[in-house]
Chain A
């Protein structure tokens, strides 16, 4: 596909369950970002991957959140023991990774997570 894809598009889960969100970046993009957007709010940075470098996890809100990326391809964001405050749209973006990541980001459609 030409763009960033994310799955699932919607996820409803019960409090306390674990969820896994997937992001497929644009082929050849070495940089990958995860963001969270709560209803009516702006984007909140979660984590950044660049090639084989150690990821920047500084935005992860708690140790219940983790993310992995396989090489320069798919990434998964895992939320353990979900809480109601985790309800949000989780957005993934990728970029070519030029200029230290200061390049145009291409966003996926997001995964809307609802924790009941």
Chain B
């Protein structure tokens, strides 16, 4: 079993829908990251969090340390949100343990 599991693996939705991507981990962590990889390959860090909730524009990330679970939400989704969303965790060091990614497609 992978230490970081993401679900769903693939997600297709219509423009405007509320999107939720989940990340569960089985190890103790010091921080959790959400990243976005566009079809062209570029990777952008969206959030780094160790507790609570963070919001940036239409993106919201939450983490529940007790349940070892994090969610990434996208409100009012748009085709430009189409990308692979990756969850990764620090285990007290610089090395990240990576989830397999969730491929999101938003149809107009």
Residues of A near any B CB (own CB < 8 A): 31, 33, 37, 42-43, 45, 48, 50, 56, 89, 91, 93, 100-107, 109-110, 112
Contacts and interface: CB of A to CB of B under 8 A. Distances in A.
Contacts of B101: 42
A93 B96 CA distance: 12
Interface of B: 30-31, 33, 41-45, 48, 86, 90, 92-96, 98-101
A107 B86 contact: no
Given A45-B95, A100-B93, A103-B48, A91 B43 contact: yes
A104 B34 CA distance: 10
B100 to A, nearest CB: 6
B98 A104 contact: no
Given A42-B86, A42-B101, A102 B94 contact: yes
A100 B94 contact: yes
